[in-house]
Copies of this chain bind each other. A is one copy, B any other.
């Protein structure tokens, strides 16, 4: 059951994006117990995608941001963020997306990320590579950096990290979108601190298909299989082409790990 119809998955992402666009700027957000945002759109999209997957791939499990969580011990598990970047969405910002990842034995296998405002599709296929709107994409090739180069960083960087980086640091407001901009070679890399499997599963499939890697700030390899229970990243990770990741790691200091 590893024949996934990617055209169909992309059509689900478009349906999801249409829902999000309809609710956009309608001001219907509320705060969850952890004070983060959720909206009617998150809930409606998760239901839509979970229903599609259950109907089409009943043997697969699902772990999603809001409510859906079953069969995560199965060979194939979908990790869904119905609306990655809900806080940006609520703020009327442009960068948020629908993220649909599929793991096989705990390892990101394929992914579709759709940015409705830009109408940009990113996807990874296990055999053929990474794509944006049908064009092959690749991470930034090894090269020197200058002040116009940029990386994506968390929105709490000013409190948690010190960066000795010559270029720009931007917080896009959506982890899945940050994977897209790294995978297409726009951002040199990204630093991610707080993320669950649904935030990163599709992005990791895309990143790897585009020639990139993900590494813990300490150098420990990232093991996504332990995140199937919903736990967050055990430590911040850096993503990008290998040489950029290796140069970024020593110039990023995590104030928390220094305190411990």
Q: Is A71 positioned at the interface, with any CB of B under 8 Å from its CB?
A: no
Residues of B within 8 A of A117 (CB): 94, 117-118
A147 contacts B35, C-beta separation under 8 Å: yes
A94 contacts B94, C-beta separation under 8 Å: yes
Q: Is A219 positioned at the interface, with any CB of B under 8 Å from its CB?
A: no
Mark A residues whose CB is within 8 Å of B.
31, 35-37, 87, 91-95, 115, 117-118, 120, 146-148, 150, 153, 155-159, 161-163, 165, 168-173, 181, 184, 186-187
Number of copies: 2
For the complex, give the distance between the alpha carbons of A75 and B153 in Å. Answer: 44
A171 to chain B, nearest CB (A): 5
B153 contacts A158, C-beta separation under 8 Å: yes
A116 to chain B, nearest CB (A): 10
Among B31, B93, B158, B161, point to the contact of A95 (Cβ < 8 A): B93
B93 contacts A172, C-beta separation under 8 Å: yes
For the complex, give the distance between the alpha carbons of A211 and B171 in Å. Answer: 27
Given contacts A94-B118, A155-B169, 15 further A-B contacts (CB under 8 A): A35-B147, A37-B148, A87-B148, A87-B150, A87-B168, A91-B150, A93-B170, A93-B181, A94-B94, A95-B95, A156-B168, A158-B158, A158-B161, A158-B169, A170-B173
For the complex, give the distance between the alpha carbons of A187 and B155 in Å. Answer: 13
A92 contacts B150, C-beta separation under 8 Å: no
Query: Are A31 and B92 CB-contacts (below 8 A) given A156-B168, A168-B171?
Result: no
For residue A173, which residue of chain B has the nearest CB? B170
Residues of B within 8 A of A165 (CB): 158-159
B146 contacts A186, C-beta separation under 8 Å: no
A170 contacts B155, C-beta separation under 8 Å: yes
Among B91, B95, B120, B158, point to the contact of A186 (Cβ < 8 A): B91
